[in-house]
Amino acid sequence: MPAMAKSSTKKPQAKAAITGLGFSAMSRQPIGSVRELAASAILAAIADAGLRVKDIDGLLLNKSPTAHTEELPLRMQNDIGLRDLSLLAAMDSEGSTAVQMVQYAALAVAAGLAKAVVCVFSDTPIKEKGKGGGDTFALAMPLSGIESWEARQGFLGATAGYALAARRHMALYGTTPEQLGAYAIACRQWAALNPQAFLRKPITLQDYLASPYVVEPFRVLDCCFPVNGAIALVVTSADRAADAPRPATYIHGMGQGHRGRSGLRGDDPEVLTGAVQAGKAAYRSAGVTARDVTQCQFYDAFSYAGVLSLEGYGLAKRGAGGAFVERGHTAPGGKLPVNTGGGHLSGFYLQGMTPLSEAVIQARGAGGERQVKNDLILVSGNGGCLDYHTCVLVSPHPKLH
C-alpha cells in the first residue's frame, strides 16, 4: 500500500446500520420470477433483523439493467403486505445501485424520514435450463457516443468494454495476463472457504491461462458467474440496531463518483475512474484514510475491475494494482483481503448485493473459515463500463477507534 499515516481526524458516531440480511434461493437454473425471489429475500431479511412486516416503513428496489420495469415494480409493496410506507422508490444506477440504496436508506433513517428500510436486488439472467447468462447480458454498451455504432459493430456486452479498458491499463502500466490470473485465483481461494460460493474447485495459473478467451485479454475465468436469485438488507438507525438479534453492521462513510466521458484525447475513463472521488468522500465522512481499511468487498464483474478498484480507492499505487495482487496481498493470508466470499468471479454474480452481503457476513464475524479482520470494510459498487462508482465503509463498531 502507499505510505500513508493513520488518520487523526475525529471519527463521528455511526447514525445508521444494516441489521438484517436475507437471501432467496440461488441457482443456475430457473427457480422463479424476479418478483417472487425478491419477496423471499425481503421476508428473510426482515426476520433476520428481528422485525415484523408492519415494522418496515421504507422499501428501495433494484432490478438488473437488462430486466423490464414490470419485473420488479413498486407494487412489490403489496406483495409483501407493506402499509403506510414513508419511503418507496425503484432505483437504477446500473451496478452502483445496490450500494446507493444503502446510502439513501442510511440518510433517510438518520434524517428521521423512515425507521426501517428494506433494500432489495433481484435478477433472473438464466432463462433456460442448462444455459448461462451470456445471451441476457449480450447488449450493446454505448461508449463511443455514436448512435447504434456498438450494435452495428457487434460490440456487445460489458465484456467487450471492460476488455478494452483492461488493454488500456496494460498499455499504460504493463499489467500482465498473469496478474489478472492472480486476481481470479485469489477469488477462487476465498470461494473454497465459502459454502455459499458456486465455484469452489481450486485453479492454478496454468488452469487460468488454458481457459478460453471471451474477449482478449479476458478469459472465461476473468468473468463473473451469474445466478438467479435475490438478496435484501434492512437498514435502521444505529440506536435501533443495538436491539437487533444479530450483530449490526454500522455505516460510517459513503461516497459517489461519476466522472463522465468527454471523448476528448487525454481523457482516460478506463483507468482514471470515479472511484477516486467516491473513496475520498467516504474516507472524509468517516474520518479515516485508506490505511485504515482492513478488508475490501469490491464489485468485480471482471478481474480487471477488482485490480483497478485497488488503485482507485488508494489501496495500491496507480498502475500497481496488478503487481499488488500478484504478490498475494488480496488472497487468504494476505495483508488486504479482497472479496472473501469469492466475489463475482467465483462466488456468484448478483451485482452490487454480492459485495454488500459478504460485508455484512464479515462484519458479523460469521465468515467461518474465511473470517478475517473486520474493523473497517470498504464496499464498492460499479456501473456501466467503469462509469458509475459508489462505496460505503462499514464496521461492527458503532464508533471507530
Q: Taking a C-beta distance cutoff of 8 angstroms, is the pair 41, 120 a contact?
A: yes
Q: What domains appear along the chain, each with residue ranges and CATH number?
A: 16-128+225-395 (3.40.47.10)
pLDDT at 267 over 90: no
Alpha helices in 233-291, H assignment, sequence order: 238-241, 275-286
Cell of 319: 498502475
Cell of 328: 498475494
| pLDDT tier, 152 (very low <50, low <70, confident <90, very high otherwise) | confident
Residues 6+ apart with CB under 8 A from 389: 96, 256, 257, 258, 273, 274, 275, 277, 278, 312, 380, 381, 382, 383
Q: What pLDDT is stored for residue 3 in this prediction?
A: 45
Q: Taking a C-beta distance cutoff of 8 angstroms, is the pair 169, 308 a contact?
A: yes
Exposed, middle or buried: residue 204 (CB in 10 Å: 0-12, 13-18, 19+)?
Answer: exposed
Exposed, middle or buried: residue 307 (CB in 10 Å: 0-12, 13-18, 19+)?
Answer: buried
* pLDDT (tens digit per residue) in 124-137: 999 877 666 666 56
Q: Which amino acid is at 184?
A: A
Q: Which amino acid is at 395?
A: S
Q: What pLDDT is stored for residue 5 in this prediction?
A: 47
Q: What pLDDT is stored for residue 134 in this prediction?
A: 67
* pLDDT (tens digit per residue) in 54-105: 999 999 999 998 889 899 999 999 999 999 999 999 999 999 999 999 999 9
Rounded (10°) CA dihedral 154, 159, 161, 165: -140
Q: How far is CA 257 from the centre of its chain?
A: 15
How far is it, in rounded angstroms, from Cα 160 to Cα 11?
42
* pLDDT (tens digit per residue) in 181-200: 999 999 999 999 999 999 99
How far is it, in rounded angstroms, from Cα 13 to Cα 7?
16
What does the pLDDT average to over 308-319? 98
* pLDDT (tens digit per residue) in 3-12: 444 555 678 8
Q: Taking a C-beta distance cutoff of 8 angstroms, is the pair 243, 55 a contact?
A: no
Q: Which amino acid is at 298?
A: F
Tell me the pLDDT of the chain averaged across its residues. 93
* pLDDT (tens digit per residue) in 18-29: 999 999 999 999
Largest interatomic CA distance in the chain: 57
